[in-house]
Amino acid sequence: MINRAIFGACTIGAAVLAAGAAAQDAGETPASAQSAPQTAQGDVAITIYNSNLALVQDVRQLPIAQGRSRVEFPDVSAQIRPQTLSFAAANTTIIEQNFDYDLLTPSKLMEKAIGQTVTLLRTNPATGAETRERAKVLSVAGGTVIQIGDRIEVLRDDGLPVRVIFDRVPPGLRARPTLSVNLDSTRAGTRPVQLRYLTGGLGWNADYVALYNEAAGTIDMQGWVTLTNNTGTTFHNADTVLVAGDPNGGGSGGRYRDRGLVRAGTEAAARERLGDFYLYPISGRTTIANAQTKQVSFLDVQAVPAKKIYSRDIYFRQNDEQPVNVESRIAFSTSKAQGLGDALPAGTVRFYQRDREGTPQFIGEKSIGHTPMGSDLSLVTGEAFDITVKAEVESRETITAAEWEKSARWRVVRDGQVVEEGTLERPKTFYRTVMRYTLTNAKREPIEVQLTQSGLGNNWWSDDFRVTAEDLPGVQLNADRRRYTVPVPAEGERVIRVTYETRY
């Protein structure tokens, strides 16, 4: 369960419109300055998915006239998908809907004023004296071009005190995103009206902070929901739930290449589910301001068993000119028995480790996909400064078919007797390749490196491969990959060789 909010920052841009200079001089209050409610929204519930998609449900109490009428709904998302709108009100049917998203901005005001006359208010920087001129807006392509009497000018953004005063708000511009519907009602009166729609611009992902204790072999991990709102609308006092998963149409936010998942878990997390997705509700109602990033904690566990792993993958017949630094990984489990015990939504895990003075320092990060509980993870944090591997083809020679058959691994045996052996269907060329791996360790303590040789699998252009000699026993991971766990002494070097017989 989400347990506490951390921070929220809101950036709001505001523009002042001088509408009707004569009215202001007469002491009248322009309509734009009249007090307005903070929001027209009602009881708001929001379901937010990982991939810039959200479901907004808004119940408002509205007076509806009998017969046909037009009702406006301001404060809807500027990125609403109008085709997903669902409208429900008792004794009422919807005839037509319109979404006005041409918002009132300085650039839109100038664009709509093309061909119209505005007032320029200039201030003399030296004296402070103000002068007014009437000007016709000719163009806003690449800058604002105006005509004042018989001369043409360009309004430059050079910091000089010049203001443009518009006589009125151009038709079609809205101060807030507004949905309007034409209704037909069988009775008049105030009643609850429910709006439900999908919108872009609202999304979330998980961020994890993991403090690695190398001496204890543990990590302390905190999980944060990072929620962003770029819909152009603030959602006030909303009941909010987050969904971890990728419904069709929601993109692919949880799919990560090389996400460090070694083994997928088979444990069910103790969280509410919606179909095949996990729910992460935010406790209590919250206001999600436009242009805001909000973080909320959902995971806080200590002393999860973890270990550092050094590794490098090498392709068959790879010939390094220079030693290559190995990858540094941190491996842990999300299982309940190992202490973490939760499903992890897709996001980024950032690892920290304390220095000699006890100050946590950043040591690397890795993205993960949606990870079931009980999974084993091995996440790359960076390259090890002091540990390298140099892979080389030490020798490569052709061998005869007879030599090849000496290492054949299959025969047909009946009653203890070999009754059939493999035969060659056509002349073939065979190779014996010796790979040499040189590992170095400049640390003061011994380490182990997981060395994985890939490129061994059967393909359309090859029939077989065989490991006929190896300095260290390897483990065949699958048809293509064989792993060696190589001990390397402190401040030392280790060389191992593996001999392959292949058709390629």
The DSSP output letter for 28 is P
Nearest to 291 by CA among 11, 79, 43: 11
Nearest to 452 by CA among 488, 415, 482: 482
What is the Cα–Cα distance from 325 to 440, expressed in whole angstroms? 9
Between the alpha carbon of residue 58 and those of residues 46, 242, 351, the distances in Å are 9, 17, 40
Between the alpha carbon of residue 106 and those of residues 34, 136, 235, the distances in Å are 20, 16, 24
In degrees rounded to 5, what are phi and psi of residue 32?
A: -70, -20
Dihedral sign, CA of 466, 470, 473, 476? negative
What is the Cα–Cα distance from 499 to 504, expressed in whole angstroms? 14
What is the Cα–Cα distance from 253 to 244, expressed in whole angstroms? 10
Query: Mapping DSSP to helix (H, G, I), strand (E, B) and coil, where does residue 424 land?
Result: coil
| Tokens 């309940």 found at | 336
The pLDDT tens digits along the chain (504 residues) read: 333 232 222 222 222 223 333 333 333 334 333 444 478 899 999 999 887 899 999 999 999 999 998 888 888 888 888 888 888 899 988 888 776 555 566 777 777 778 888 888 888 777 778 888 888 888 888 778 888 888 888 876 656 677 888 877 776 666 566 777 888 999 999 999 999 999 999 989 899 999 999 999 999 999 998 889 999 889 999 999 999 877 765 444 444 455 677 778 777 777 777 777 888 888 888 899 998 888 888 899 999 999 999 999 999 889 999 999 999 999 999 999 998 988 899 899 999 999 999 999 999 999 998 899 999 999 999 999 999 999 999 999 988 777 766 665 566 778 878 777 665 455 567 889 999 999 999 999 999 999 999 988 756 455 578 899 999 999 999 888 999 999 999 999 999 999 998 877
DSSP H or E segment with residue 406: helix 401-406
Dihedral Cα 220, 444, 451, 314, nearest 10 deg: 110
What is the Cα–Cα distance from 165 to 159, expressed in whole angstroms? 17
